[in-house]
Amino acid sequence: MEAALPRRGDGVTKTCSLGEMMITALSRTIEDGTLVFHGFGSPLVQLAMHVAKRTHAPRMVLVAGATYGIDPDPPFLAPTTNDWVMDRGASSALGIEELFDLAAAGRMGRMFLSGLQIDRWGNCNVTSLGFPELKMKLPGGGGGCNLSCDAAHLTLWTTAHRALEDAKGRRRFRLADDCDFITNLGHRTKDGKLRRDLGHRGNGPQWLVTELGLFDFDDDGHMRLNALYPDTSVEDVLMNTGFKPRLASQIEIIPPPERLVVEFIRRLDPLRVHEKEIRAEDMRRRFTIA
Amino acid sequence: MPTRSRPIYTDPDKRKSLDDLASLVADGAVIAVGGGLSSREPMALLRAILRRSITGLTVVGSAHGIDIDLLSAGGALTRSSESYVGFEQDFGMAPNYRRALESGAVKAEDSCCYTLVQQLRAAIQGLPFMPMRSVRGTSFPSLHPEYRKMVCPFTGEELLLVPAIEPDVALIHAQYGDARGNLVIQGPPVADLLFAKASRMVLATIEEIVPTSRLGELRGIHIPYFYVTAVSEVPMGAHPTACYPFYAYDRPHTELYYDAARKGADTFCAEYLDIFVHGAADHADYLAQIGGKATRARLASWSGGLEAWKQLYRDGAMA
């Protein structure tokens, strides 16, 4: 049994960072009693899963990416995912084939995925900009392609929604009109075929958490703005998105984490590994916590 | 062409020098590199391969980093079918790998982890292909015209068929092993067990060769000797990736590597390859270049407790 959070905080923590807001928003997409997996190179998601396990989802099966350890209790986050630090306290570990088999057999409840292009249907590209003419080779998606089809639900995330101008004044949208290559499958293929007609196990993207807002996907499988941060606006989202996202009838404000959650995140990540995911201009953002 | 039968290896003493191990990798071979990300990659063996100027290699694998990036820089590759090559969020994209693929010197035939697993499983079972449900609807089939679809004769659902992958050589670094070729891998095995069973040859570097009688006392994944073609005892053979419990990941050395790689191919050649690969005559020379016993002691210090372990990974920690 994982240790629950202590009941009293230090009484000093009064604000949190964008990273801590995003971790909390990601953790809220996890349901208790489900098997949840994170990949490598995603400390925000690693922390979100540990937060969920110690708050609302104590019976979640936490499978750590790269080590495939079950319910580990790492003493701190290492800067690389396949490190012995990361599976300390695990009750057992899976082999690579077992991890993917259980997703293919319908046992994996949720997986977290990202992309350097994410389109309105939740397709993600982590393979290459430009295809088949390769303009920029991206690192590749690991097992994301397979799990995007097989995991019951997906939560997407990116910390680079804001489309900054490059030196030539061009803006490359992370939330792009079209993915050059579909690495991870969303709700609709490049030629307009519906995911549900492909007979995959999984139901596709359910949530997208960015540094500007929280999105869900409507009945058409189209991305829809659902909530904002206290310091972002609908205009920020529209200006920085390469297509027109749909808007929920009521746009909420993402609630901040409880103080105990913030303190837990800071204890588990003393090296601030997750801040490598956050852009410099977003490091200054602060949010009042409950 | 029916699937070929695969050999077994029964030589009671398979010990060879590191260079002799590397000499068994032929130009143009399909190789499976063991370990993953920053863990237990057979780096000494890869450096030995680069020193021999072996070329035309195809790599297949799951999630990798400095290993494939180094092979890309050294001119050994012509095709990559990896699932991921990078330095995670810590340093980012793999500079040499990117240059090699973007210039067209290395053909990008990316795969994904479970697709690879199924293809290796087909080889392991002596079957020509395996079916799977995922991948359909993504762009991967356009990179891989060899994939086929079929309608399942039992359920009527559409499935993807992926052909067997039988690597010519698996390169594995194990913590322990014996002269006969039994291997013990501690901690996450990544795809090493699949690689060992699916490949025609297994070349293993071993941190510590021990008597066979001791292997039974060791925890971990055991690979039987008959899969293994040749072994070499190479302490620190995974450096700068981790080989726990012997040593942790050398993040400062990786940062040095990354900084040189980011500056361009010529700078990487001058500041890294010419020093740590071609500038070192052999592995002993390499160990001296990276700081000898002091480096080994620093990386072994993780076992001294959490503070020591954390210290290894702090920004600004000294090489």
Could you say which residues from 238 to 297 on chain B have a Cβ atom under 8 Å away from some Cβ of chain A?
242, 244-245, 248-249, 251
Three-state DSSP state, A266:
helix
Do B69 and B142 share a structural domain? no
| A135 at B interface, C-beta within 8 A | yes
Do B118 and B27 share a structural domain? yes
Structural domain boundaries enclosing A143: 15-283
- Give B86-138 pLDDT, tens digit per residue: 999 999 999 999 999 999 999 999 999 999 999 999 999 999 999 999 999 99
What is the predicted pLDDT for the residue at B61?
97
| Chain A residues close to B310, C-beta within 8 Å | 76, 270-271
Instruction: Tell me if B142 and A93 make a contact (CB, 8 A cut-off).
Output: no
- Residue B6: left (phi > 0), alpha (psi -120 to 50), or beta? beta
State the CATH number of the domain containing residue A86. 3.40.1080.10
Do B85 and B136 share a structural domain? no
pLDDT above 70 (res B283): yes
Tokens of B141: 């089939």
Nearest chain B residue to A189 by CA distance is B137
| A20 at B interface, C-beta within 8 A | no
Quick check: is B241 in a domain? yes
What is the predicted pLDDT for the residue at A189?
97
Three-state DSSP state, B97:
helix
Do B232 and B185 share a structural domain? yes
DSSP secondary structure of B2-61: PPPP------S--B--HHHHHHTSPTT-EEEE-SBTTBS--HHHHHHHHHTT---EEEE-
Q: How far apart are the CA of B302 and the nearest CA of chain A, in angstroms?
A: 10
DSSP secondary structure of A69-135: EES---SS--SSSSSGGGGTT-SEE--HHHHHHHHHTT---EEEE--SEE-TT--EE-SEESSSS-S
Do B247 and B209 share a structural domain? yes
Quick check: is B101 in a domain? yes
Nearest to B175 by CA among B107, B228, B244: B244
Q: How far apart are the CA of A7 and the nearest CA of chain B, in angstroms?
A: 25
Quick check: is A72 in a domain? yes
- Overall size of chain A counted in residues: 290
Structural domain boundaries enclosing B215: 1-128+165-290
Quick check: is A254 in a domain? yes
Quick check: is B59 in a domain? yes
Amino acid at A232: T
Quick check: is B229 in a domain? yes
Instruction: Tell me if B139 and A76 make a contact (CB, 8 A cut-off).
Output: no
Do B243 and B193 share a structural domain? yes
Measure CB to CB from residue A183 to each of B136, B138, B193 and give the nearest one.
B138
Tokens of A79: 């800067």
Residues lower than pLDDT 50 in chain A: 1-2
Do B213 and B197 share a structural domain? yes
Could you say which residues from 76 to 95 on chain A have a Cβ atom under 8 Å away from some Cβ of chain B?
76, 78-85, 87, 93, 95
Instruction: Tell me if B310 and A270 make a contact (CB, 8 A cut-off).
Output: yes
Nearest chain B residue to A277 by CA distance is B89
| A29 at B interface, C-beta within 8 A | no
The answer to whether the beta carbons of residues B268 and B261 sit under 8 Å apart is yes
Instruction: Tell me if A140 and B83 make a contact (CB, 8 A cut-off).
Output: yes
Measure CB to CB from residue A85 to each of B85, B251, B309 and give the nearest one.
B309
- So what's the ipTM on this one? 0.96
- Give B164-196 pLDDT, tens digit per residue: 999 999 999 999 999 999 999 999 999 999 999
What is the predicted pLDDT for the residue at A12?
79
What is the predicted pLDDT for the residue at A9?
59
Three-state DSSP state, B310:
helix
Number of separate domains in chain B: 2
Do B170 and B71 share a structural domain? yes
What is the predicted pLDDT for the residue at A8?
60
Do B114 and B15 share a structural domain? yes
Do B134 and B88 share a structural domain? no
The torsion angles phi and psi of B278, rounded to 5 degrees, stand at -80, -20
Do B16 and B146 share a structural domain? no
Average pLDDT value over all residues in chain B: 97
Nearest chain B residue to A93 by CA distance is B188
Do B108 and B76 share a structural domain? yes
| A169 at B interface, C-beta within 8 A | no
Q: How far apart are the CA of A252 and the nearest CA of chain B, in angstroms?
A: 30
Write down the number of H helices and E strands in chain B.
14, 15
What is the predicted pLDDT for the residue at B315?
86
Nearest chain A residue to B104 by CA distance is A134
Q: What is the rounded CA–CA span in Å between residue B150 and residue B163? A: 13
Number of separate domains in chain A: 1
- Give B67-87 pLDDT, tens digit per residue: 999 999 999 999 999 999 999
State the CATH number of the domain containing residue B270. 3.40.1080.10
What is the predicted pLDDT for the residue at A1?
42
